[in-house]
């Protein structure tokens, strides 16, 4: 039973969930980050921060958990968090390009390239459309 694929999948999902919860909890308990305040208060810097973190970690879930933890701790203002999530959405497209690189033995070709372009294009379009509006979006979301 322990050696079955279903058991391994369930254990993997549980460990991933517990790991993300612990990571988010650790982010919540961060102390003062005064030296980062100029970056934290600027949504454009946070957009690039979300993008870079997701590219480095290859996990938009981990980036999102960090963002939620920072917002919950009061360190990250909502407009910057929205911008960071938009950046994470673009950063996650790096995974599909990386996968396409290994599948195609170089730059993705054919349908792999079309899927990568669509994924990247949709996320870029969303970021370009929403990034200038993060402050009004945050004011709207603050009502709930």
pLDDT at 24: 67
pLDDT at 32: 61
pLDDT at 15: 86
- The stretch 102-130 carries a mean pLDDT of 88
Which SS3 state, helix, strand or coil, does residue 32 take? coil
What's the whole-number average pLDDT of the chain? Answer: 86
Q: Which two tokens stand for residue 40?
A: 């934290």
Whether 11 has a pLDDT exceeding 80, the answer reads yes
Write out pLDDT tens, residues 14-70: 887 787 777 767 666 665 667 677 788 899 999 999 999 999 888 888 888 888 888
| Chain-centroid distance, C-alpha 113 | 22
Confidence of residue 85 (pLDDT cuts 50, 70, 90): very high
Cα distance between residue 4 and residue 44, in whole Å: 46
Query: In 10 A of CB 13, how many CB atoms?
Result: 10
Q: In the chain, what percentage of residues exceed pLDDT 70? A: 91
- pTM for the complete prediction? 0.77
């Amino acid at each position: 039973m322990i050696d079955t694929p279903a058991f391994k999948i369930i254990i993997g999902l549980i460990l991933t969930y517990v790991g993300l919860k612990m990571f988010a909890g650790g982010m919540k308990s961060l102390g003062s980050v005064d030296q980062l305040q100029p970056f934290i208060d600027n949504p454009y810097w946070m957009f690039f921060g979300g993008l870079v973190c997701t590219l480095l970690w290859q996990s938009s879930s981990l980036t999102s958990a960090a963002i939620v933890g920072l917002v919950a701790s009061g360190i990250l203002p909502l407009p910057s968090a929205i911008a960071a999530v938009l950046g994470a959405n673009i950063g996650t497209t790096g995974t599909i390009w990386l996968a396409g690189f290994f599948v195609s033995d170089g730059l993705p070709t054919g349908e792999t390239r079309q899927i990568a372009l669509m994924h990247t294009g949709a996320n870029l379009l969303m970021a370009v459309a929403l990034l200038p509006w993060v402050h009004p979006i945050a004011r709207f979301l603050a009502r709930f």
